[in-house]
Structures are given as structure tokens and as C-alpha cells.
Amino acid sequence: MDNKLIYACVSVIGSMILGSAAFAQHGPDWPDWAYGQLEPLGPDSRTAPPCPDGSRPIDCAYQGNPVPDDGIKHSLPDTDRTFTRNEAYANFGPADWYPGDHPQMPDIVAHGKESAGVRACALCHYPNGQGKMENGHVAGLTEGYFLQQLEAFAAGNRRSADIRKANTNEMAMIAASLSDAERREIAAYYSSIPLRKMIRVVESDQAPQVRTTTNGLMLPVEGAPPMELGMRVIEVPENPDRTEMSRDPRDTWVTYAPVGSLAAGEALVAGGGGIACGACHGPELRGLGDFPSIVGRTASYTMRQLWDFKQGTRQSAVMAPIVAALSAEDMMYISVYLASLDPGGGGAEIEGVE
Ligand code: HEC
Ligand code: HEC
């Protein structure tokens, strides 16, 4: 058997075992919302597909069906640039709406590495590193932490606990395909850009009705009445059209959370969960040495990390005992509170909390 075939077999058997185990584990407290899901995992759920060339032991992200370019140029405020939907979504050269918002991108950030199937970092994380709820926020991290994470993805120590979350697998595949020099160049680039404030928390019993895209972006259903929120969080872009059509890197987020989340989260972060998070993440939680900043990220992103630490699919000897003491509800409150805080990189024009 050649290597490709062995990998393909390992991958199929692996996902069968992982599939049934993970299916059995999903208790009623599983935070589906954080993984971009509106329904619990079930027998008909769509799970991560194998990579098209079958050559890697890691599954891939869902590839949307090609959409014909409609030729309609979209625009955004404060820029002369215009892009069609497909230009904004180009895998190996997505839109750069605001070149003045960031230093010159390294080629791999702007274009990826097509020969290795590595899509541009700027596609998912944007040229400015602000990122989205369904991927991650890579501005405002130190070079050291950034490199550690690429290593963890590449080594298989950072996977999603939810087998439906395919783009985390693609992130692992991407990290494994980068040379050391490429990793260092990208880490230096993104760590030079501060994370801007981009989240408005709304405590409420209700949230807009949403639909979710294949990779887990939630968008309001136009004209639909609000829905009961329940014990979960629903996060949507402030300007859904701009984010969906144009991948607007300046768009911000609205985080709908159960009433009382912010106060509960604040108490837990201050030490009510056993240990004060600031002991390692810094007094303002904006990071301390290579302990990462944990504020101003979407609640969906933060919740996934805490839940993945708890399930052990994101391995960290330091965070594991901390999350062991936290329930899913605690983690939700913490994620909402952290999302409401200012990461310190400007963008203060949006109100933090409503
Ligand atoms: C297909 C979309 C996609 C592309 C392209 C992509 N990423 Fe990611 N990245 C993700 C996702 C998804 C996550 C978060 C995974 C999770 O929450 O489970 C992530 C997370 C990260 C993180 C961790 C951030 C943190 O706070 O720990 C780093 C670092 C990162 N990506 C770097 C890169 C680099 C460098 C590139 C380009 C070479 C890149 N990504 C391209 C989807 C992508
Ligand atoms: C003893 C030190 C320590 C304490 C206390 C601590 N953390 Fe962490 N935290 C870490 C380290 C180290 C990492 C990086 C883990 C890794 O290697 O992936 C981390 C990572 C994280 C991440 C992932 C960040 C990202 O960008 O993906 C989150 C979220 C987080 N911690 C939240 C918390 C919260 C909430 C608390 C308090 C309840 C807390 N931490 C307390 C050390 C700590």
C-alpha cells in the first residue's frame, strides 16, 4: 500500500471511531451554537469531508459549490475599491478592501500557496486579522503564541471536539503545510496588528431568527420575527450583507446572550470559577508574555476553545484543570463577558454593551 492509501484508510477508520464516540458524548449541555450549529448532532448531520486528494490524515472544510460570477461589483464605506462576490471570496487572493488598515501582507497571507492547496490566511482571518466567529481572531496575539498554535494544529494537538466543524480541520492541514520560515513571516505580520473592538453584547430573552452557512457563520433571516434565545448565545454580523457578500473586514458583531450573562461571567473570570483568569492572561486579560489575550473575541470562538479544552481535543496541560471545574453554562457566561471587553486596539466607536 502506498502512503496515500494508508492515510485514506486511517482517515476513514479514524472518523468512524471518532464519529460514533463523539456522537455518544453529545450530552444536552453541548454548546452547538458555538460550533455554528442550530441543531444537536444527529445521524443525518453533515460531518467533515475527507480532503479531495485523500493524501492527508486530516479531513477538510466544506467546499461550497462554485457560484457563477454575477459580475455585480459591490462597494463598502470609505473605500474606492469594488469587488464582485466571487472576487471577495477568491481562495488564493481574496478582496483587500482597506489596504491602509494593515502593513503590506506577506504573499502567503494574501495569496496562500495554491500548489499545496493552502488557501490565503486573509480569506478566513481577513487581511487585518480581525477574523470571524466561525474561524478565529488572529490579530493582537504574540508571535510566540501564534507559532505555538500553528505547531499544535500541525501536530494534531488542536482539533475540534465537534466532528461537524470542518474548517478547524482545514486549519490543521494548512498549519502542517507551512515551512518554518513561512510560519515566522506570518506570525510577525499578524502580531504587528492590534485587535480592534468589534463586539456589542445584547442581553435578551430573544434573538433574531438565524440561518447558518456551511462553515458556521450565522446570519439573520430577513423579515422573520425574533425567536426565543434560551440558554445559548446567538452571534450575527452587524451588517449581514456586507459580511456575507463582501467579507467586510471592518464589520462588527452583535452577541445576543441570556439576561445576567455579563455579571455571571465577570464573577467567574475574577476567580469565582476557582482561579482568576488574570493571573495568567494579564490584569486586563489582554495577554501576559505568551499567555494569549482572551478579550474582544467572539463568544462563539472563545466558547469553542474552552469546550475543546474540556473535551481534550485542544490539548493544554495548563488550561485542562481550569476548564475541568467549569460547566458549559459557566463557560458561556465567561465567553460573553470576555467578548464584551475592549481588546485595546481601537475601534471604540461601537458601544460595548447594550
Ligand atoms: C478555511 C479557513 C481558514 C484559513 C484559510 C486559515 N485559517 Fe486559521 N483558523 C481557521 C479556523 C476555523 C480557526 C479556529 C479553529 C477553532 O475555533 O476551532 C483558525 C485559527 C487560527 C489560529 C489560532 C488563533 C488563536 O487565537 O489561537 C491561528 C494562529 C491561525 N488560524 C493562523 C492561520 C494562518 C497563518 C493561515 C494562513 C497560512 C490561516 N490561519 C488560514 C480557519 C482558517
Ligand atoms: C495558569 C495559567 C492560566 C490561567 C489561570 C488561565 N489560563 Fe487560559 N490559557 C493559558 C495558556 C498557557 C493558554 C494557551 C494554551 C495552549 O497552549 O493552547 C491559554 C489559553 C486560553 C484560551 C484560548 C485563547 C485562544 O486564542 O484560543 C482561552 C479562551 C482561555 N485560556 C481562557 C481562560 C479563562 C476564561 C481562564 C479563567 C477561568 C483562564 N484561561 C485561566 C493559561 C492560563
pLDDT per residue as tens digits for the range 24-41: 568 999 999 999 999 999
Position 341 pLDDT exceeds 80: yes
Position 13 pLDDT exceeds 60: no
In short, whether 121's Cβ falls inside 6 Å of ligand 1 is yes
Position 66 pLDDT exceeds 90: no
pLDDT value at residue 348: 52
Position 53 pLDDT exceeds 90: no
Average pLDDT value for residue range 263-279: 95
How far apart CA 299 and CA 33 sit, in angstroms, is 10
CA dihedral 326, 330, 333, 335 (to 10 degrees): 20
User: φ and ψ at 240, to 5 degrees?
Assistant: -55, -40
pLDDT value at residue 98: 98
Average pLDDT value for residue range 32-61: 82
pLDDT value at residue 22: 47
Q: 332 near 31, Cβ under 8 Å? A: yes
Between the CA of 236 and the centroid of ligand 1 the distance, in Å, is 20
- Percent of the chain at pLDDT > 70 equals 89
Minimum CA distance residue for ligand 1 atom 11: 135
In short, whether 295's Cβ falls inside 6 Å of ligand 1 is no
pLDDT value at residue 184: 98
In short, whether 171's Cβ falls inside 6 Å of ligand 1 is yes
Question: Ligand 1 pocket check: which of 33, 123, 138 to mutate, most ligand atoms within 8 Å of Cβ?
Answer: 138
pLDDT value at residue 201: 98
pLDDT value at residue 354: 57
How far apart CA 74 and CA 85 sit, in angstroms, is 7
Position 89 pLDDT exceeds 60: yes
Residues in the chain: 354
